[in-house]
Structure 1
Amino acid sequence: MTEPRRGLGDIRTRLDHLVYAVPDLAAGIAEFAERTGVRPVAGGSHPGGTANYLVRFGPTSYLEIIGPDPEATARPRAFGLETLTAPRLAAWAVRPEDIDKAVWQAREQGFDPGDVQPLSRRTPAGELLEWRLTRREDPAAVRPVPFLIDWGDTPHPAASDLPLVSLTSLSAVHPDPDELRRDLAALGVRLDVSPGPEPALRAVIDTPLGSVTLR
């Protein structure tokens, strides 16, 4: 299994991870395992009321399956989880060499990726992971423009012994493909984009049970 072979342009940024949002974490993990033959590994809990499970695409990229933390009392709003009723490929992240410079360059080209903010979570073993990412006040349920992430000195999650699948392709649907391409270009990213009524992401992964599409 290898890193992505098409659908992503390796310009100034690199794929970090895809975000697959599920309304019920236990059910979402069980469904993913049934479809792929691969059981994701618990990643940990976030302060915002979410928890995640992970599988990797390779040593530097992974799939994050995120849902409401069963231990949390309030339903989180991140990635549309507050109203989500079915699993959805909601977002993706890229890792620039210099996140602050990448934000400045994007703004110079007319796209604001949002301010860089620190976040963290603890692994089930208690290890603290810390990173910085861009956040926008964006109510969209699906975000075809990636957010930027910088892991700093924290070991990358995909560098651990996670179950492995292969990302074959990543693409997007958008009502205005040219607008989306301009925003992607401001981040130094290329993506296959086709017209459609609503923004959507589509990833194809190779698994022990064959090709699986996440939407």
Structure 2
Amino acid sequence: MALDHLVYAVPDLALAGDLGIDLSEGGRHIGRGTRNLLADLGDGAYLEVIGPDPDQPEPDQPRPFGIDTLTEPKLVAWAVRVKDIEDVVERAKAQGYDPGPVVPMSRERPDGVLLQWQLTPMLPGLLPFLIDWGSTRHPSEDAAQGAQLELFQISDPNPDDVYKGLKALGLDYPVANGPTGLQATIRTPNGEVVLR
């Protein structure tokens, strides 16, 4: 298992220009009312900046990651790349943590290439959701280049509780004692960018 991507949600994708990170068009999530912009972070990971897509009708359900209630950009979630996602979910359940049901998703890139994957629920929080790209080309390979993830940090006033969930998933990420949240430091040609 490896870090797949970080999810930075914004109330308006126009705010992505303020990040100081080169981003490329990812695509639209049809029916969910969102679209994304991507940046490669090195080592097979990428940054997903996701926000409302004004060219889609209002979705029947709330947009993912609490986007509908955001008042400012926020690092809301992270994903771990796995193979055989159903098996990983079953093993996590046996260890006392249920990542949720596996669902298929897809999106079309601006160049018409269809990406398909499976994932567990994309919930904001300190524990990652799981994603299995199957035979689909990984988005980091076509995302804007030039950024590098220097540090990814998880913090919570009860780090042992978070660590139990990570351990059930077979992950060994450190959890700092502090205010609940995620933080990433990204190096760019123009300097460091810190996302919270």
SS at match of 2:163: helix
**CA distance 1:188–1:26, change in 2 (3 Å):** same
Quote the RMSD (CA, aligned, Å).
1.6
The amino acid that maps onto 1:53 is: L
Cα shift readout 1:122-147 (whole Å, capped 9, x = no counterpart):
111121111000117x5xxx411001
SS in 2 for 1:119: strand
Report the alpha carbon displacement of residue 59 of structure 1 after superposing the two structures with TM.
5.5
One-letter amino acid of the structure 2 residue matched with residue 203 of structure 1: A
CA distance in 2, matches of 1:14, 1:126: 28
Which position in structure 2 is the counterpart of 1:169?
A: 151
CA distance in 1, matches of 2:82, 2:143: 24
Letter in 1 for 2:10: V
Greater RCO structure (CA 8 Å; 6+ sep) = 1
Shift of 1:188: 1.3
- Residues 11 and 70 in structure 2, CA contact (< 8 A), matched pair in contact too: yes
Structure 2 residue ranges without an equivalent (≥5): none
Give deviations 1:38-97, integer Å, cap 9, x for gaps: 320010000211100000012621000000012123264310101001000000101123
Q: Equivalent residues in 2 for 1:98-113 (5 A)?
A: 98-113=84-99
- Paired position in structure 1 for 2:28: 45
Among candidates 62, 70, 74, match of residue 54 of structure 2? 70
> What TM-score, normalized by structure 2, do the two folds share?
0.92
Residue 160 of structure 1 is matched in structure 2 by: 142
Length, aligned pairs only: 193
Shift in Å at residue 192 of structure 1? 2.6
> What secondary structure, in the 3-state scheme, does the structure 2 residue paired with 1:185 have?
helix
Matched, 1:31 2:18: yes
Contact kept in structure 1, 2:89 and 2:99, CA below 8 Å: yes
Residue of structure 1 equivalent to 2:184: 203
Question: Secondary structure of the residue that 2:68 maps to in structure 1?
Answer: coil
Matched ranges for 1:1-215 at <5 A: 13-27=1-15, 29-32=16-19, 36=20, 38-47=21-30, 48-58=32-42, 60-74=44-58, 76-135=62-121, 142-160=124-142, 162-197=144-179, 199-215=180-196
User: For 2:138 and 2:42, how far apart are their aligned partners in 1?
Assistant: 11
Counterpart contact for 2:34–2:63, Cα < 8 Å: no
Q: Distance in 2 between matches of 1:63 and 1:154?
A: 18
Structure 1 portions without partners, runs of 5+: 1-12
Per the TM alignment, residue 118 of structure 1 is displaced from its structure 2 partner at its CA by 0.1
Work out the percentage of aligned pairs sharing the same amino acid: 48
**Equivalent residues of 1:170, 1:192 under 8 A apart:** no
> What SS is found at the alignment partner of 2:86?
helix
TM normalised by structure 1 equals 0.85
- Name the CA distance, whole Å, in 1 between partners of 2:159 and 2:57: 39
Q: For 1:204, what is the secondary structure of its paired residue?
A: strand
